[in-house]
Structure 1
Amino acid sequence: MKKITKDLLIAAPIAVGGALYSASRLLYSYAFNRSDIVPEPGKDIIGYANDYYYYIDWLNEQKHAEHWRLVSKDKKEELNAVWVPAKHHSKFSVLISHGYKGNGVTMANLAQMYHFMGFNVLLPDSRGHGDTSDPYISFGWLDHYDALAWLNMMIKRVGPESKVFVHGVSMGGATALMLAGEDLPPQVKGIIDDCGYSSLNEELVYLARKVTKLPVEPVRRLMSKINKVRTGFSFDAVSSVKQLKKAKVPIFVIHGADDDYVPTYMAYQNYNAITTPKKIWIVPNAGHAMAFWVDPREYHKQVTSFIKSTL
């Protein structure tokens, strides 16, 4: 009996550890494996579906749009973007970074907004999305390094007199915020973040507590170790707040007051970390990534005002 008890005491932690690891791998695959199917509009945006597809159709009709290719700095990944040049020659350009499980085309609404403002527009597919070769989603971390290369291509195309902005939504918002902490070309004049998270650790813990009864912290640590092996970085590295403390350009933070996917308090965490000229707009009655759809005219007005303030 004593031997059986001792064996159970040894086996139980091993069994629990194995179960947690299996669960962590399963959750990692669900969250981080690429998806080649762009989801239909979610329940929040379903009321705006006609408008959403109107913008998609508009983008597809842009006959002068170009498909750009980029090989990642580590020479491992092929990246894709759509370039929509301004109707007339313009020194103004914007890189628009899309959200989780989307692609560049899903930012057609913002592409049209900027196009009508006279901007050249670049719509990259983030890693693990759209027409890229990466099998894993990096939640903006590797994407923010890729964005530096895209920016250099944009500036080369338009010229050294370029005035460039970066606008990101959701995961793309975090991409833009993390980009702000890098050594940016002087042509970059401002960053616009729409509902980006403050840190990957905090975002994953927040979501995990909503969808699972598993012990969150050990699962997060195991997922981070899996990610380190597969993509080369741990979750601890991925922080908008840390990057924002190094920012040198003006930043505009937009967030829905009713966001329950990236909670609104993260907007204030990001905003409070910024030491450069900054602006925040918490949009009433807007859920996650819904600020534009709730009030597109006010969205355009707020973005235009911010851009003018940086020039």
Structure 2
Amino acid sequence: MIYILTACFILIFLLFFTSYLLYRGVFYYPPKKHVDPHQIPDDMLYAPYKNAMLPLLLEMEQTPYEEVSISSQDGISLCGRLYLFCPDAPLMLFFHGYHGTFLWDGLGSFRLCKKNHINLLVVDERSHGKSAGQIITFGIRECRDVKSWTDYAAKRFPGKKLILSGVSMGSASVMMASALSLPSSTIALICDCGYTAPAEIIKETIRSFHLPVSICYALLYFGALVFGHFNLSELTALSAVKQAQIPILFIHGERDSIVPTKMCDELYAACASRKKKLIIPNSQHAVNAMSDFDSYEREILNFLIESGI
């Protein structure tokens, strides 16, 4: 009996230990791990556009802005920058991706908004940049932060039309937030390379590393529940768009190697509200605005006009 009990104890210990290690690797993102937003990576995503991104990043830093902050629903400090280009214009709220920064992911939105006199609020997602927190939840808690920011914008700028925009995890968070009773002044969602569900993008990433999907995901799911106190199945972008009432423009790169283009197709097919889809030829993940800004700008502006701006 003692051997059986010992074996059970060892198995339970290994379950918790392995799950904790995976949890720390995927969801834990303390400040010491943060990227330097002024150092654009030389990887397959950003390297082709680095020379075009650097002047835009510098322009974004030099353009006057107001630092703003709010408290999330669970009490952490969330920070952002407010660029007011035209007092009477609509306001776009932008949300970046996993381990990202608005100084990379938001350059296209900044260029579009400044050029077309649309006000812009770019946000440091929880556990990124100047915002507090150390746990990333792939949209589960981030979508509530989207709602908090939208409520803040609606209260600060009564009557101003609001546009929610995001890239990757930020895009998924925006879609998930559409199920959370957003202010009536929210008139359009711009969702760039978003995924269908936290579970599905995690499984897709596990497959890309040629690891056993069922085992690894089960350990990550367990780790999120036990150590992070969140449920990866609580809400999905796919379930949210099925009940969407706000118009959504879906944007995706044809050669996205992180979030498969088929996820965009699934989201578009499921969306219950007025919708449009833009696939950027030969474009990778999270760089659609850099890959083909003309198409990106044209489709967004047309969509906003159709949405009543």
Tell me which residue corresponds to 1:69.
69
Identity of aligned residues (%): 26
**What is the TM-score with the length of structure 1 in the denominator?**
0.90
Q: 1:15 to 1:229 in 2, by over 3 A?
A: closer
Partner of 2:108: 109
Q: Which residue of 1 aligns with 2:61?
A: 60
- Cα RMSD (Å): 2.1
- Equivalent position of 2:139 in the other structure: 140
Q: Does 1:40 align with 2:40?
A: yes
Q: Residue in 1 aligned with 2:158?
A: 159
Asked whether 1:306 is paired with 2:309, we answer: no
Alignment of 1:75-90 (within 5 A): 75=75, 77-86=76-85, 88-90=86-88
Larger Rg: 1
Aligned position for 1:262? 259
Cα deviation for residue 244 of structure 1 reads 1.2
**Offset at residue 21 of structure 1 (A):** 4.0
8 Å CA contact 2:18–2:219 kept in 1: the answer is no
Cα pair 2:19 2:222 within 8 Å, conserved = no
Q: Kindly indicate whether residue 181 of structure 2 is the aligned counterpart of residue 183 of structure 1.
A: yes
Tell me, yes or no, if structure 1 residue 225 matches structure 2 residue 226: no
Secondary structure of 1:24's counterpart equals helix
Query: Per-residue displacement from partner, 1:168-218 (whole Å, max 9, x unpaired)?
Result: 0011110111112221111100101111110111111111122153x3223
Task: Quote the offset at 1:310 in angstroms.
Answer: 0.8
What number of residue pairs does the alignment pair up?
Answer: 301
Whichever residue aligns with residue 17 of structure 2, its letter is S
**8 Å Cα contact 1:99-1:170 kept in structure 2:** yes
Task: Verify the 8 A CA contact 2:140 2:232 in the aligned structure 1.
Answer: no
> Match of 2:23, as an amino acid?
Y
Q: Which residue of 1 aligns with 2:274?
A: 277
Instruction: Pick the aligned partner of 1:28 from 19, 23, 28.
Output: 23
Give the Cα–Cα distance (whole angstroms) in 2 for the partners of residues 20 and 217 of structure 1: 14
Q: Which among 152, 168, 171 is matched to residue 170 of structure 1?
A: 168
**Helix, strand or coil for the counterpart of 1:306?**
helix
Q: CA deviation at 1:253?
A: 0.7
- CA distance, structure 2, for counterparts of residue 12 and residue 67 of structure 1: 55
Q: Kindly tell me: are residues 91 and 158 of structure 1, through their superposed partners in 2, closer, same or farther at Cα, counting changes over 3 Å?
A: farther
Task: Say which SS state the counterpart of residue 203 (structure 1) adopts.
Answer: helix
**Letter of the structure 2 residue corresponding to residue 81 of structure 1:** G
**What code does the residue aligned with 1:184 have?**
L
- Report the residue type matching 1:174 in the other structure: A
After TM superposition, the score normalised by the length of structure 2 is 0.90
Question: In structure 1, how many angstroms separate the alpha carbons of the residues matched to 2:239 and 2:287?
Answer: 26
Distance 1:15 1:70 in 2: 45
| Pair 66,23 (structure 1): closer, same or farther in 2 beyond 3 Å | same
